[in-house]
Chain A
Amino acid sequence: MITAMPSKLVASDGSCLLVFTGQAYRTVTWGLAGPGTLSILTSTTDANGVAMARYNPGSAGDTPTVSVTYAS
């Protein structure tokens, strides 16, 4: 599950923290389809199964999609 914090609406001068929750100690691959940039904070889930990335937006009106690929 990916949670966008604080919400899926991102101000063009702000950012959004994306939190993936899955199994502990697994490698995950973050992906971004659309404008903006994705800063990967953790590419492996921690003991709680959490990995994080930060999305920095492009311009207003964009609808980027962030994905996480992981071993199921």
Chain B
Amino acid sequence: MPTLTSSTFFTVANQATAVETVQLVVVPAGTGAAGGYGRLVHPTLGTLDYTLPPHQWTNLDSDVIIPPTWAASKTLTSTANTLWPGALRDVVVTEAWLPDAGLSMPMPMLRLMMAFYLNPPDLAAGQYVKWYPTYSSALGFNVILEGLDIDGVTLKMSPQTKGSELIEFPISLKIRPVSRLP
């Protein structure tokens, strides 16, 4: 039985490549956004120096504000009140950026904040996001990012937020301090 053989050649061409670049400018520590607007540091994703400081914040002054815990129990003749000192981990600090002046924050800042929120570090390995609220306090904290609300809803996006470099919605970040940094 005859054997038929067929062959062909083909050429593998080099695919065209493209290059994109971006130039960065390194500024001194403690100036511009790094000089008092607030900072978050993620162990993998790096540093988020707030481009704008929050317009409002709760449970924070020069230190985290820790309220005491009261409990009241009715007794036969009166009420017994019991007081416990609060703990740092009881507190949730909220930072809010409001669109009072037409915008709340730039889109790249929000996207990096979302990346921090959506990629929590390994708490079992003792890794935390570090938070430096330099707009109000000289202290730093290990924290858990508990929530990120856009216009009052968790991660609400819209054509406005997708298509713009500026966010017009109010944004709030809920932060639970775990420990103070030395």
Instruction: Tell me the A residues contacting B by CB distance below 8 Å.
Output: 1-20, 36, 41, 52, 54-72
Task: Report the bound CA distance from A72 to B28 in whole Å.
Answer: 37
Kindly list the 3 A-B residue pairs having the minimum CB-CB distance in the complex, ordered from nearest.
A15-B46, A11-B34, A14-B47
Which interface class (under 10, 10 to 19, 20 to 34, 35 or more) fits B? Answer: 35 or more
Contact with A along B21-39 (1 / 0, CB 8 A): 1111111111111100001
* Majority secondary structure, B binding face: mixed
Instruction: Tell me the B residues contacting A by CB distance below 8 Å.
Output: 15-34, 39, 44-51, 106, 108-109, 111-112, 115
Complex interface: chain A residues within 8 A of B47 (CB): 11, 14-16
Q: State whether A11 touches B24 (Cβ < 8 A).
A: no
Complex interface: chain B residues within 8 A of A1 (CB): 20
Complex interface: chain B residues within 8 A of A19 (CB): 111
Q: State whether A57 touches B26 (Cβ < 8 A).
A: yes
Complex interface: chain B residues within 8 A of A14 (CB): 29, 34, 39, 46-47, 49
Q: State whether B33 touches A41 (Cβ < 8 A).
A: no
* Majority secondary structure, A binding face: strand
Task: Report the bound CA distance from A18 to B115 in whole Å.
Answer: 12
Question: Which of chain B's residues has its CB closest to A55's CB?
Answer: B24
Complex interface: chain B residues within 8 A of A11 (CB): 26-34, 47, 49
Chain A: minimal CB distance from B119 (Å) = 10
Complex interface: chain B residues within 8 A of A64 (CB): 23-24, 26
Complex interface: chain B residues within 8 A of A4 (CB): 22, 24, 108
Task: Report the bound CA distance from A62 to B27 in whole Å.
Answer: 8
Complex interface: chain A residues within 8 A of B48 (CB): 5-6
From B15, B21, B49, contact of A2 by CB (8 A) = B21
